[in-house]
Amino acid sequence: MTISAFPARRMRRLRAQDALRNMVAENQLTVNDLIYPVFVLPGKNSRQSVVSMPGVERLSIDLLLKETEKLAELGIPALALFPVTPADQKTEGAEEAFNANGIAQQAMRSLKAEFPHIMLMSDVALDPFTSHGQDGLVNESGYVENDKTVEVLVKQAISHADAGADIIAPSDMMDGRIGTIRQALEKQGHTNTCIMAYSAKYASAYYGPFRDAVGSAANIKGGNKKTYQMDPANSDEAIHEIAMDIQEGADMVMVKPGMPYLDIVRRCKDELKVPTFAYQVSGEYAMHQAAFANGWLNKEAVILESLLAFKRAGADGILTYFAREAALLLKQS
Ligand code: PBG
């Protein structure tokens, strides 16, 4: 390509008015790109704020149904459900994870009955259900055992599909879980239940506020997830993981966290060309909210700019705690 020189080319010509800028915009954020993560409480008429995530509330199912009416009006296409399990239901074996009447399963059935067109994404991992806060079953030395964990994850995934999940999203980072879950779904007749693999999920310190929200922070006791989640130093490894998950049967893949890992989103899109999602995680949300609360950043503008950056990096969609607010802003603009 020959690039003509100034003044034949003045880059500012196409920036001179709104209509022109819109016409040549390379990327656009729409409500169709947004997946809204929600925290679900047991019981009724219960609402709790999450201190480290201002503006995010954990809701019991009845209140979540009311909230979903508003989300549906805004056109939000999908919810990602995260159950908050009472401490006395957490065990070493995470049995509550595949309870057909668990909080996540109940929420899915209620939401599907009232809002059949809103897609439900279910998190498959054991950390909200284990007494030690790890994503899998641990042995005597505290190591998370891969293959035993996968057996439980399969039960959890099937119970979610039975309860109406449209998208199963394993976030546990065990090896081989995508293939095993896919086979089990096929066998049970859930042929159209999609899998969005949290493929490139890093052992990140940005998940702190989420662990407060689901109550796993105290259980993990300063421990970490570095023996299964990825090392933030690595990029080729992410492409390797993603390629394996696709081969095992993932329909869509995810990169997580989001903004500090947009280089991985871009590589995934360029090299593997598969449906790619990114998660703007709890810590990213918390730091934005802190800056908004201090008046250091303009809330509306920064929310939309931060989400547009995901689209520019190649993401097909974004999981974000700003989904509701962004949908409202997009509607107004
Ligand atoms: C569970 C899970 C986590 C998140 C999503 N699913 C926490 C973790 O891996 O410790 C984090 C989401 C966020 O920080 O917003 N495995």
Domain range annotation of the chain = 28-332
Question: 276 near 318, Cβ under 8 Å?
Answer: no
Q: What is the pLDDT of residue 223?
A: 85
For position 219, what pLDDT does the model report? Answer: 77
pTM (2 d.p.): 0.96
Verify whether ligand 1 is closer than 6 Å to residue 207 (CB atom). Answer: yes
Atom of ligand 1 nearest to the CA of 216: 10
Alpha carbon distance 330, 28 (integer Å): 11
Q: How far apart are CA 159 and CA 216, in angstroms?
A: 22
Residues 6+ apart with CB under 8 A from 178: 170, 195, 197, 244, 245, 248, 249, 250
Residue 214: predicted pLDDT: 86
Do residues 144 and 137 make contact, with C-beta atoms less than 8 angstroms apart? yes
Residue nearest to atom 5 of ligand 1 (CA): 171
Q: Could you give the residue numbers annotated as active site?
A: 201, 256
Ligand 1 atom closest to the CA of 172, numbered from 1: 16
Q: Is the CB of 281 under 6 A from ligand 1?
A: yes
Ligand 1 touching residue 210 (CB < 6 A): yes
Q: Probe ligand 1: pick from 50, 127, 173, 210, max atoms within 8 Å of CB? A: 210
Whole-number Å distance, alpha carbon 79 to ligand 1 midpoint, is: 15
pLDDT along the chain (333 residues), means of 10: 88 97 98 98 97 97 98 98 95 97 98 98 96 94 96 98 98 97 98 98 96 81 90 98 98 98 98 98 98 98 98 98 98 90
Which numbered atom of ligand 1 lies nearest the CA of 283? 14
- Structural contact between residues 83 and 100, judged by C-beta atoms closer than 8 angstroms: no
Q: Angle, to 10 degrees, between the axis of helix 146-162 and the axis of helix 103-114? A: 30
Residue 38 has what pLDDT?
98
- Please list, in sequence order, all residues whose beta carbon lies within 8 angstroms of the beta carbon of residue 185, skipping any fewer than 6 positions away: 157, 158, 161, 168, 191, 193, 195
Could you tell which of 84, 171, 282 is best to mutate to test the pocket of ligand 1, judged by most ligand atoms within 8 Å of the CB? 171
CA distance 300 to 57: 20
| CATH code given to domain 28-332 | 3.20.20.70
Which residue, judged by its Cα, is nearest atom 10 of ligand 1? 207
Ligand 1 atom with minimal separation from the 282 CA: 15
Residue nearest atom 8 of ligand 1, based on CA coordinates:
207
Is any ligand 1 atom within 6 A of the Cβ of residue 261?
Answer: no
Please indicate if the annotation marks 73 as binding a ligand.
no
Question: Quick check: CB of 285 below 6 Å from ligand 1?
Answer: no
Q: Is the CB of 282 under 6 A from ligand 1?
A: yes
